[in-house]
């Protein structure tokens, strides 16, 4: 997984590329923790170019959502593929999806 961070007004847009699997999940969580402590109040994860998410990737999204909330910030997920959105809805991440 690769990522690109872009500042946009009062939020950070993090564009993810590739696979969100066990290996990539550790990297994403570490990067998010660092960014949340230092940057914008809102975080947007753009999953447009994510091809695959495994169970560890879903768990990382849950952990990230909870972590961001401890800093009174929000996390939104945009541009996910239909199958990934369905998995996220079924996993309880519906509230983070922005349509």
Give 13's strand partners: 6, 44
Residue 97, helix vs strand vs coil = strand
Q: How many domains does the chain contain in total? A: 1
The pLDDT, as a whole number, for residue 99 is: 45
Q: What is the pLDDT along the chain (99 residues), one digit of tens a residue?
A: 889 999 887 888 999 999 999 999 999 999 988 888 876 678 999 999 998 888 899 889 888 888 888 888 888 889 988 888 888 788 777 666 564
Give me 75's structure tokens: 């996390």
Q: How far is CA 3 from the centre of its chain?
A: 11
74 and 42 Cβ atoms separated by less than 8 Å? yes
Query: For residue 20, what are the domain limits?
Result: 2-96
Please give the model's pTM, rounded to 2 decimal places: 0.85
Give me 57's structure tokens: 């990737």
What CATH number is given to the structural domain containing 28? 3.30.750.24
CA 47/CA 80 separation, integer angstroms: 5
Ramachandran angles phi, psi of 81, nearest 5° = -65, 150
């Amino acid at each position: 997984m690769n990522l690109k961070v872009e500042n946009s007004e009062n939020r950070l847009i993090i564009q993810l590329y590739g696979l969100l699997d066990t290996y990539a999940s550790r990297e994403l969580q570490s990067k998010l923790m660092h960014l949340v402590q230092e940057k914008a109040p809102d975080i947007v994860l753009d999953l447009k170019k994510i091809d695959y998410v495994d169970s560890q990737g879903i768990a990382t999204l849950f952990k990230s959502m909870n972590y961001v909330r401890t800093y009174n910030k929000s996390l939104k997920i945009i541009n996910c593929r239909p199958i990934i959105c369905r998995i996220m809805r079924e996993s309880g991440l519906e509230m983070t999806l922005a349509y």
